[in-house]
Structure 1
Amino acid sequence: MGHMKGGRQSLRKRMQRGFTMVEVIVAIGMLTLVGLAAAQFAITAVHSSYAHQQRSIAVGLAESGMEQVQESVKGKDGNTIFSTLTSGMAKSQAQEALKTASDLNVIENAADTIDLGWSDTPSATAIQAKVETTDQQGKGTTYTVYTVVGKCYRLSTQASCLSAAKQGLVTTAGAVGSFKYVGQGNTAVEAASITDPTKFPTGPFNTGTAASQTYSPMVRVVVLVTWPDSQHQGKTCWYSTATILDGSNDDTLKTK
């Protein structure tokens, strides 16, 4: 009997040791899961922090770009704003900037809202349509700053500023209607000032009749900053700011 008692005690001890091992394994598993969750949380937090930092840099670049735009036309006559802002913009880069803004829906229905402008002899010292800059303090993110400048026309009875074609100034065949400047001795408006991407009307105009509505030429400016999405491979992040400048008045800045 003594032998059997000793056998039961030995079995009980082995079972106790077995349960202890299971508990240890379960505990290790739980700790591992908690550790993995904590690590994932930390990684997500780091990525979110970096994404926030990237956006902050982009916002700063966009605001700086718009400040440069407004400083460059400060004190200028309204009808020279367009030529000043497009003086550094090559055609190819201006078109790329507009396409990028359109593809990202930064500018919706571009054909209806803007007639793109550029210079045939762009200056290297003026505002450029496309500039790339790299963040030297972070992970070397490359930001692309696009500046889109174009013409649009605002009717005296409307708030929206639309392209020449959308306003009916140009026919589908490309012909420009007959218009005269208001307050300039009924001087005729050159068709090129409406159709040429390098030219701009010198002031408000209408058809010359008493009942005609007046079209005010405006300058639409969009500053767009793009950068690679650090959290989603192959995707692009962006931030933009925009303004509309009165192209016929030297002291009016109208922001949209």
Structure 2
Amino acid sequence: MGHTYGRRRALLKRMQRGFTMVEVIVAIGMLTLVGLAAAQFAITAVHSSYAHQQRAIAVGLAESGMEQVQESVKGKDGNTIFSTLTSGMSKSGAQEALKAATDLNVIENASDTIDLGWNDSPSATAIQAKVETNDRQGKGTTYTVYTVVGKCYRLSTQASCLSASKQGLVTSSGAVGAYKYVGEGNKSVDAASITDATKFPTGPFNTGTASSPTYSPMVRVVVLVTWPDSQHQGKTCWYSTATIFDGSNDDTLKSK
């Protein structure tokens, strides 16, 4: 009996030691899982925080770009706004900026909504179509600021501002109809001011008849900021802002 009882006690002790070991292994596994989950949460939180920071920087850059646009035309006549804003934009730079905006669907149906503008002899001191800048926190993010400037025309009976071809001012063959400036003694509109990317009509115009609708030339401006997506490799983040200026010598654009 004594030997049997001793063997049972030894067996029970071994079983207790086995259960304890299993419990330790389970506990270690649970702690590992919790630790991994916490680490993943921390990494996600850091990435999310950085993504929000990047967007905040981009918003600031876009707003700063639009403020620069607004300031550059302050006090100017409406029909000089276009030439002022395009004075620093080369053809290739303007086309690259428009492509970036259309590729990201920032400007949808660009051929229907904007006639791109540029300058044949761009100034290096004026607003540029493309500017790259790095964040000031030194985290290596490069932001690209695109500024797109173009013409569009608002029909007196409509609210939308559309391209010359979409408004029917230019035919599919490139011909421009015969138009007269409103209130300028039936002065004819130079076709080049509509078809040429470096020129702009001097004011509202129509066909010269009393019943003809009036077309008001406008300047469409889009400021787009792009930067690499920190959470999805190979993708691009963007933020944009836009405005339209009246190209008809609107007094509200002038300094008081």
Q: Give the equivalent residue in structure 2 for 1:148.
A: 148
Q: Give the equivalent residue in structure 2 for 1:10.
A: 10
Distance 1:186 1:205 in 2: 9
* Partner SS, residue 243 of structure 2: strand
1:50-90 CA-partner distances (Å, limit 9, x unpaired): 00000000000000000000000000000000000000001
* Partner SS, residue 251 of structure 2: coil
* Partner SS, residue 208 of structure 1: coil
RMSD between aligned residues: 0.7
8 Å contact from structure 1 (residues 86, 127) kept in 2: yes
Shift of 1:222: 0.1
Q: Give the equivalent residue in structure 2 for 1:65.
A: 65
Shift of 1:251: 2.7
Q: Give the equivalent residue in structure 2 for 1:204.
A: 204
1:175-194 CA-partner distances (Å, limit 9, x unpaired): 00000000111100000000
Distance 1:138 1:25 in 2: 44
Q: Match for 1:130: what amino acid?
A: K
Q: Match for 1:13: what amino acid?
A: K
Q: Does 1:39 align with 2:39?
A: yes
Q: Match for 1:166: what amino acid?
A: K
1:204-233 CA-partner distances (Å, limit 9, x unpaired): 000000110000000000000000000000
Q: Does 1:179 align with 2:158?
A: no
8 Å contact from structure 1 (residues 93, 130) kept in 2: yes
Q: Give the equivalent residue in structure 1 for 2:135.
A: 135
User: After superposition, where does 1:38-187 map in structure 2 within 5 Å?
Assistant: 38-187=38-187
Distance 1:229 1:131 in 2: 19
Shift of 1:252: 3.8
Shift of 1:174: 0.1
Distance 1:202 1:10 in 2: 106
8 Å contact from structure 1 (residues 194, 201) kept in 2: yes
Q: Give the equivalent residue in structure 2 for 1:219.
A: 219
Q: Match for 1:61: what amino acid?
A: L
Shift of 1:138: 4.1
* Partner SS, residue 128 of structure 1: coil
Q: Percent identity?
A: 89
TM-score where L is the length of structure 1: 0.98
Structure 1 segments (4+ residues) deviating >3 Å: none
Aligned residue pairs: how many?
Answer: 253
* Partner SS, residue 220 of structure 2: strand
Distance 1:106 1:100 in 2: 8
TM-score where L is the length of structure 2: 0.98
Q: Match for 2:95: what amino acid?
A: Q
Q: Give the equivalent residue in structure 2 for 1:228.
A: 228
Distance 2:224 2:252 in 1: 23
8 Å contact from structure 1 (residues 245, 252) kept in 2: no
Distance 2:191 2:104 in 1: 32
Q: Match for 2:4: what amino acid?
A: M
* Partner SS, residue 225 of structure 1: strand
8 Å contact from structure 1 (residues 169, 176) kept in 2: yes
Distance 1:91 1:250 in 2: 28
Q: Give the equivalent residue in structure 1 for 2:23.
A: 23
